[in-house]
């Protein structure tokens, strides 16, 4: 009989203990519902070393307040970025951490800062899935409208929007400048040139010819709603208090429907679960992980903690299968909200008392990810390679008309050219801001500054260093529906300058009427960063007027944000 050498015995014992250890570790970390899984059944989530994944990430939560990340692979992006031929828009700003994301801020601002512009929508959302064909048919009869328009518009925006529709008003800054420049008709009260000097001769010297106007996915540039390909799909968005916009997302197997906010200002995914027993949680649609065959939960307790201005939510982390449109995203890491508390600053109301959203899907860059290995959008692209790495938002004044477009654009939602601006650093969707004017007053940018396009923030924002100046130039005043037109005539135009591209916001676009007060739809947020000069453009105060496109970059080109005048869909 052949003897087994001590070395062979040691080798086989080490294999046995290694296998046993990995199996035990995986059993400790993952489970489906209440059933533990061995490592051999975790291959669809991670490879076998994935059993140690939670141990490596145990110190991470899913906070909206972000920690500084180490420098990564942005050197290649910088190299290609500097060679871009985009007029004067060729800067690269290094920055550390960013804003805290949707609704919550790390600077102490509360949800109260986002003044309500309408009464709360009391009608419950229907459970019926919106049919894309009906959603796109803007000529259907009024009996299919979800709710009365007056529930969803500030009075100023509502009246002006309807007037613009009747008049066919088109107002995209550069075209207007160029046309009026030729006729020498531009109003000198609001006129300036790129060199920061006011031109008494009414001549605007900028030319758009050097601005890159080509949309990156050229094959989709002229896509209309009727021509939309199968790999480009629409996610209808519903209005919540006219301040947040949510769309349908399916989670689990069998699928459970939730309506999260699709947020370009964060990267993580989290949903409210049935484990949250607070009354405010019960008011929203909740995901039940125990009913999903594909759910995997971490055993690490309470490793999700998100602080908002009005309170906090906490829970755990797991993975499950998601479906957006017809596209499946498997093994997506996300946070599960299991408890909620308030800080007694909002009359005792909890977060979900304030606004009934059921989660957040972050559409930011991987550099901001604090849970899991891959963000939702990256996972979607990886598992659905036919989808182009881009998405766009159309925010309508009318509920039932807003949409998120995954994989492309649609001519039905914008007019004129899409102006592309390079993203400076792949964390937030931020671009270089060269100047900011309020009327004739230049209030930015002696220091390097930038704009962040954030669908998770309703209002536009100013840093604290500029807020006092802003309020001195644009202040709140008493007004009514009867006299607001005359009052707004005295308010200036706000101009954001990106190289040779100028974006104008007119008073009727940035002012709101609330409780007989005309006020600017701006709030103060300080972005924690090395330079602290960030200006957010949000969903309500900016994207309602401008169709906004988000395009992921490659090794040969940076990511970009595209801007075009939004088209009326009335």
Give the DSSP per-residue string, 411-444.
GGGEEEEEEEEE-SSSSSSEEEE-EEEETTEEEE
pLDDT at 149: 28
- Cis previous bond, 254, omega within 30: yes
Cβ contacts of residue 275 below 8 Å, gap of 6+? 315, 336, 338, 339
pLDDT digit string, tens, across residues 14-41: 655 554 444 443 333 333 333 333 434 4
Cβ contacts of residue 342 below 8 Å, gap of 6+? 310, 311, 348, 349, 350, 351
Which residue range forms the structural domain that includes residue 498?
27-58+74-87+412-569
Q: How many domains does the chain have?
A: 1
With bands split at pLDDT 50, 70 and 90, how would you rate the model's confidence at 425? Answer: confident
Residue 567: phi and psi, rounded to 5, are: -95, 145
With bands split at pLDDT 50, 70 and 90, how would you rate the model's confidence at 431? Answer: very high
Name the percent of the chain lying above pLDDT 70.
52
The listed range with the strongest mean pLDDT (336-340, 399-403, 546-550) is 546-550
With bands split at pLDDT 50, 70 and 90, how would you rate the model's confidence at 528? Answer: low
The mean pLDDT of 318-329, rounded to a whole number, is 91
The mean pLDDT of 336-365, rounded to a whole number, is 68
The mean pLDDT of 274-287, rounded to a whole number, is 80
35 vs 415, residue with greater confidence = 415
Judge whether 393 and 539 are in contact, CB under 8 Å.
Answer: yes
77 vs 533, residue with greater confidence = 533
pLDDT at 58: 21
Which region among 133-147, 166-180, 402-416, 482-496 has the lowest average model confidence (pLDDT)?
Answer: 133-147
Residue 524 in any domain: the answer is: yes
Residue 400 in any domain: the answer is: no
pLDDT at 355: 56
Residue 304 in any domain: the answer is: no
pLDDT at 542: 93
Cβ contacts of residue 226 below 8 Å, gap of 6+? none
pLDDT at 321: 95
Mean pLDDT over each residue of the chain, to the nearest integer: 64
pLDDT at 89: 22
Judge whether 94 and 100 are in contact, CB under 8 Å.
Answer: no
pLDDT at 323: 93
Which region among 83-97, 108-122, 287-301 has the lowest average model confidence (pLDDT)?
Answer: 83-97
Nearest to 124 by CA among 291, 279, 259: 259
The mean pLDDT of 175-198, rounded to a whole number, is 34
The length of the chain is: 570
Structure tokens at 411: 């001519």
Judge whether 296 and 37 are in contact, CB under 8 Å.
Answer: yes
Alpha-carbon gap, residue 325 to 249, rounded angstroms:
8
Alpha-carbon gap, residue 81 to 212, rounded angstroms:
13
Judge whether 79 and 408 are in contact, CB under 8 Å.
Answer: no
Residue 124 in any domain: the answer is: no
Residue 215 in any domain: the answer is: no
Structure tokens at 443: 């209030």
Element (H, E) at 249: strand 249-251
**CATH number of domain containing 549:** 2.40.70.10
513 vs 6, residue with greater confidence = 513
pLDDT at 339: 74
With bands split at pLDDT 50, 70 and 90, how would you rate the model's confidence at 482? Answer: confident
Alpha-carbon gap, residue 568 to 163, rounded angstroms:
11
Which region among 215-219, 396-400, 419-423 has the lowest average model confidence (pLDDT)?
Answer: 215-219
Alpha-carbon gap, residue 178 to 173, rounded angstroms:
9
- Residues with a known catalytic role: 263, 454
Which region among 114-118, 407-411, 430-434 has the lowest average model confidence (pLDDT)?
Answer: 114-118
Burial 254-264 (b: 16+ CB within 10 A, else e): eebebbbbbbb
130 vs 66, residue with greater confidence = 130
Judge whether 444 and 436 are in contact, CB under 8 Å.
Answer: yes
Residue 127: phi and psi, rounded to 5, are: -85, -10
pLDDT at 457: 85
The mean pLDDT of 294-318, rounded to a whole number, is 69
pLDDT at 167: 42
Q: How far is CA 94 from CA 232, 423, 529, in A?
A: 33, 11, 10
Query: What is the CB neighbour count within 10 angstroms for residue 14?
Result: 10
With bands split at pLDDT 50, 70 and 90, how would you rate the model's confidence at 491? Answer: very high
348 vs 496, residue with greater confidence = 496
The mean pLDDT of 150-168, rounded to a whole number, is 40
pLDDT surpasses 60 at 568: yes
pLDDT digit string, tens, across residues 363-402: 999 887 776 678 999 999 999 998 889 999 998 887 778 8
Residue 394 in any domain: the answer is: no
Name the burial class of residue 100, with classes exposed (0-12), middle (13-18) and buried (19+) by CB atoms within 10 angstroms of its CB.
buried
Alpha-carbon gap, residue 556 to 563, rounded angstroms:
21
Alpha-carbon gap, residue 526 to 307, rounded angstroms:
16
463 vs 46, residue with greater confidence = 463
pLDDT at 201: 32
pLDDT at 61: 21
pLDDT digit string, tens, across residues 245-267: 888 999 999 999 999 989 998 88
14 vs 75, residue with greater confidence = 14
**Residue 305, SS3?**
strand
Element (H, E) at 501: strand 501-505
- Count how many Cα atoms sit within 13 Å of the Cα of residue 353 in the half-sphere of its side chain: 17
Residue 451 in any domain: the answer is: yes
What is the Cα 460 distance to its own chain's centre? 13
Residue 553 in any domain: the answer is: yes
pLDDT surpasses 70 at 521: yes
Alpha-carbon gap, residue 309 to 530, rounded angstroms:
23
pLDDT at 378: 94
With bands split at pLDDT 50, 70 and 90, how would you rate the model's confidence at 115? Answer: very low
pLDDT at 151: 33
Burial 69-99 (b: 16+ CB within 10 A, else e): eeeeebeebeebbeeeebbbbebbbebbbbb
pLDDT at 354: 52
Which region among 184-198, 453-467, 503-517 has the lowest average model confidence (pLDDT)?
Answer: 184-198
Structure tokens at 159: 């009246």
Residue 528: phi and psi, rounded to 5, are: -65, 110
Which region among 155-159, 348-352, 395-399, 534-538 has the lowest average model confidence (pLDDT)?
Answer: 155-159
């Amino acid at each position: 009989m052949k003897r087994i050498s001590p070395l062979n015995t040691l080798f086989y014992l080490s294999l046995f203990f290694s296998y046993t250890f990995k199996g035990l570790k995986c059993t400790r970390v993952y489970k489906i519902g209440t059933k533990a899984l061995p490592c051999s059944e975790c291959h669809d989530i991670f490879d076998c070393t994935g059993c140690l994944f939670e141990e490596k990430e145990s110190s991470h939560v899913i906070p909206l307040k972000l920690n500084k990340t180490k420098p990564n692979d942005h050197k290649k992006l910088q190299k290609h970025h500097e060679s871009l031929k985009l007029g004067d828009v060729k800067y690269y700003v290094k920055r550390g951490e960013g804003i805290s994301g949707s609704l919550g801020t790390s600077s102490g601002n509360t949800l109260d800062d986002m003044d309500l512009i309408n009464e709360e929508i009391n009608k419950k959302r229907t459970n019926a899935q919106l049919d894309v064909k009906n959603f796109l048919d803007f000529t259907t009869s009024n009996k299919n409208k979800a709710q009365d328009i007056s529930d969803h518009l500030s009075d100023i925006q509502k009246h002006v929007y309807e007037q613009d529709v009747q008049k066919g008003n088109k107002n995209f800054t550069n075209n207007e400048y160029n046309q009026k420049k030729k006729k020498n008709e531009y109003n000198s009260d609001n006129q300036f040139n790129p060199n920061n000097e006011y031109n008494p001769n009414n001549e605007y010297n900028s030319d758009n010819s050097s601005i890159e106007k080509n949309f990156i996915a050229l094959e989709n540039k002229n896509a209309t709603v009727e021509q939309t390909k199968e790999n480009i799909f629409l996610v209808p968005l519903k209005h919540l208090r006219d301040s947040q916009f949510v769309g349908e997302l399916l989670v689990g197997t069998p699928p459970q429907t939730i309506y999260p906010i699709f947020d370009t200002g964060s990267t993580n995914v989290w949903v409210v679960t049935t484990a949250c027993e607070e009354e405010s949680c019960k008011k929203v649609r909740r995901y039940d992980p125990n009913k999903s065959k594909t759910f995997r939960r971490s055993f690490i307790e309470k490793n999700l903690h998100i602080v908002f201005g009005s309170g906090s939510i906490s829970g755990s982390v797991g993975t499950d299968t998601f479906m957006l449109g017809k596209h499946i995203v498997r093994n997506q890491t996300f946070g599960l909200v299991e408890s909620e508390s308030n800080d007694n600053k909002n009359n005792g109301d909890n977060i979900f008392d304030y606004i009934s959203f059921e989660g957040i899907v972050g559409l930011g860059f991987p550099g901001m990810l604090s849970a899991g290995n891959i963000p939702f959008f990256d996972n979607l692209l990886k598992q659905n390679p036919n989808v182009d790495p881009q998405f766009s938002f159309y925010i309508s004044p009318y509920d039932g008309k807003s949409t998120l477009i995954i994989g492309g654009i649609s001519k039905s939602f914008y007019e004129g050219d899409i102006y592309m601006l390079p993203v400076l650093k792949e964390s937030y969707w931020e671009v270089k801001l060269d100047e900011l004017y309020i009327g004739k007053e230049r209030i930015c940018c002696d220091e390097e500054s930038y704009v962040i396009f954030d669908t998770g923030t309703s209002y536009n924002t100013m840093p604290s260093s500029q807020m006092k100046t802003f309020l001195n130039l644009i202040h709140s005043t008493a007004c009514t529906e009867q006299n607001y037109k005359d009052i707004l005539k005295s308010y200036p135009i706000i101009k954001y300058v990106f190289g040779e591209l100028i974006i104008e916001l007119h008073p009727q676009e940035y002012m709101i009427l609330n409780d007989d007060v005309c006020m600017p739809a701006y709030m103060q947020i300080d972005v924690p960063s090395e330079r602290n000069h960030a200006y957010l453009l949000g969903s309500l105060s900016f994207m309602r007027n401008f169709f906004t496109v988000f395009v992921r970059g490659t090794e040969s080109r940076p990511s970009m944000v595209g801007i075009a005048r939004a088209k009326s869909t009335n």
